[in-house]
Chains A and B, each alone.
Chain A
Amino acid sequence: MAGKTADEATWKEMMAVFFARQIEDGDTLCSGAHTEISFTAAMLAQRMHAPNLRLQLGGTGWLCNLVGQDVWGVPKTSVDYRISQWAEGYFDHPETFIFYGPPSGGRDYYEHRERYADTNRYFFADHFFVGGIQVDLHGNVNLIGLAKDGRMTMRGPGTVGINDVITVRNMFVFMTAHDERRFVEQVDYVSTMGPSGWREKQFPGNGPQWIVSPRGVFDFSGEGMTARLRGVFPGHSEEEIVSNTGFEVERSRHFEEIPPPTDEELGRLREEIDREGVLRS
């Protein structure tokens, strides 16, 4: 770890470390569509503090445990065949969706998780990642496109399957850039609802619980489950976030300082997982 001090972390490394910190041992996690940040976060968590993390890595249904395994690098895509080297199980992609039912079948699991400590929860996603071209005050995410006067002017990539995981306990909305065009009062199209929408539509899961950007983190502690600033990443400021956000920024009642990556976090990330420096490019 010589010569790698925490303040050298890139924004991608900081995001990966932040995500890894939220993942607890025994959780289940699906990191489906590829991004180098969510992949490394899941891999780091499993190697560092969550050896019992039940991890579906990639969209091709491999159930992976990396403990004691040779990590050859960060997969470049969600369909890299070499992910199978870390796999202990597999299911076809359409079957993914029959593995998401929570114990008890309903809301009770989310309100009283402690009651389900002895249940198998195979393979229910506690965590999921969703990217977006826009996110709004209510946590609605848009991957469909941008509109002007009711007409689609920019076609986005498509919804993928995020809206299908109606049982997820915690969804990280993660944005790879933070500006007023992306953080808006109201999204042009909704591909995944924010948390209040999930409650209103009586979905079992909680939906989005965080918005994470290169600059900082929002939770949904505001009135009506609206976004509130939870913390600022090292090297960034609250003023910077306010001036780059298209909705009014207020502090969360849980506002906290987000510590930079520890030497251990950054060292293990760089030496055991991201040896090629994907997160540094």
Chain B
Amino acid sequence: MSAGKQATQQGNGHMSDALGRREVVATAAEVAARVEDGMTVAIGGFVVANHPMPIVRELIRKGARDLTVIGNATAGLEVDLLIGAGCVRKVIAPYVGAELYAPIGNCFRRAAENGEVEVWECSEYILYAGLQARAMGQEFMAWRGGIGTSIPELNKDLKVFESPLGDGKEYLAVPAIGADWGFFHVGLADKYGNGQHVGSRFGDRLIARGSDRVALCTERLVPNEVIRRDPLRTSIPYADAIVEAPYGSHPYAAHGFYAEDEQHIRDYVEATAAYRKGDEAAFQEYLERWITGPEDHDAYVEAVGIRKLLELERVYGGAGATGRSVAGVA
């Protein structure tokens, strides 16, 4: 975080640093420390890709409690993990699982069935409509999807109303939903908080707009010049914190960098399947080995091991050839 001084010494166009342009590079633990019990946190990515895992793990390590978690539209096992670790009081997500790896997240299922978490029943666009209302400063958005389903019966925050246009059609009023913090995983970011996705952006931009504060984990911390080379690609500007986290989505994929770690995910699913049925030993072992054991993200990466990480990078080797990889970027 002292890089500003070095930049001014290089001269040519870095005077803004001398004027005190704020740098926001932080560690995952520093970000997690700013999350208070009872807050609402949103987590980006999609199914088994691009989840900001160093922050997720730090939330568990610090023993966060009573969080409301806004998942992405197809929330994956990162939300399931937070639930299993006891951090969550309420879940706002239209799905929690990992497709063929786990049609339903085991911790999510156990906690929902036991009444240990409240589920804010919604669908993909009901979630987005709530975030959009928040992003636009409105109290609600009108949406027809969900009419005629059990969703408004299970979620009393959603109000059915008849169209004022007089055609007799029913709509849902979806109240604004927002987060105290939104956490995302991107490919590139600079020290000023400009993030650029590589590959799909999923629902991250809208979820970020529904978040009062934003932290990005990034595969590569790059000079501001690299961001300026292609400002069209800046998908989340003005983040409040940038966490440099190579391999930061592991065990999940990071678009443009590496595929998901199938074996790790299968081990997690197996451990949590036993946990769901009351045998907690394997899940506790998982938490100790992967979450509370490693002292920081670097130690976590070391525990995963270079051979595994190289193997996951090679899966996307062909994708790099399409020109959509970060090749050419420092």
Binding site for B on A (CB under 8 A): 33-36, 59-62, 72, 76-82, 84-85, 90, 92-94, 97, 144-145, 152-166, 189-193, 197-198, 200-203
* Other-chain residue from A84, A93, A152 in contact with B46 (beta carbon distance below 8 A): A93
Indicate with 1 or 0, residue by residue over B203-231, a CB within 8 angstroms of chain A CB atoms: 10110000000000000000000000000
Contact A81 B49 (CB under 8 A): yes
B interface residue numbers (CB < 8 A to A): 46-50, 73-74, 93-101, 103-104, 108-109, 112-113, 119, 121-126, 128, 132, 143-151, 154, 167-170, 199-203, 205-206, 253, 255-256, 259-260, 262, 315-316, 318-319, 322, 324
Q: Are B74 and A33 in contact (CB under 8 A)?
A: yes
Q: Is the CB of B74 within 8 A of A78?
A: yes
Contact call B99/A33, Cβ cutoff below 8 A: yes
In-complex Cβ contact of B170 among A159, A189, A190, A201 (8 A): A201
Known: A93-B203, A164-B146, A202-B168. A77 touches B100 (CB 8 A): yes
Structural contact, B202 and A93, CB atoms closer than 8 A: yes
Closest to A70 in B: B318
Residue from A97, A163, A202 having most chain B Cβ neighbours under 10 A: A163
Contact present for A72 and B318 (CB under 8 Å): yes
Contact A157 B103 (CB under 8 A): yes
Given contacts A36-B100, A59-B74, A189-B154, contact A97 B125 (CB under 8 A): yes
A97 touching B200 in the complex, CB below 8 Å, given contacts A161-B123, A189-B150: no
Contact A190 B99 (CB under 8 A): no
Is the CB–CB distance between A155 and B108 below 8 Å? yes
The answer on a CB contact under 8 Å between A144 and B145 is no
- Kindly state the separation between the CA atoms of A152 and B121 in the bound complex, as whole angstroms: 13
Residues of B near A190 (CB, < 8 A) are 148-150
- Chain A residue numbers with a CB within 8 Å of B126 are 164
Q: Bound complex: CA of A153 vs CA of B121, how far in Å?
A: 16
A164 touches B253 (CB 8 A): no
Shortest CB-to-CB span from A108 to chain B, Å, is 15
Closest A residue by C-beta to B197: A92
CB–CB A157/B200 < 8 A:
no
Q: How far is the CA of A232 from the CA of B104 in the complex (A)?
A: 30
Identify 9 new A-B residue pairs, CB closer than 8 A, beyond the known A79-B202, A81-B256, A190-B148: A79-B74, A94-B132, A157-B97, A160-B94, A163-B149, A164-B123, A164-B146, A190-B149, A197-B148
Question: Distance in Å from the Cβ of A197 to the closest Cβ of chain B?
Answer: 5
Q: Provide the residues of chain B in CB contact with A160, threshold 8 Å.
A: 73-74, 94-95, 123-124
Assuming the contacts A144-B154, A155-B109, asked whether A164 and B168 have C-beta atoms less than 8 A apart, the reply is no
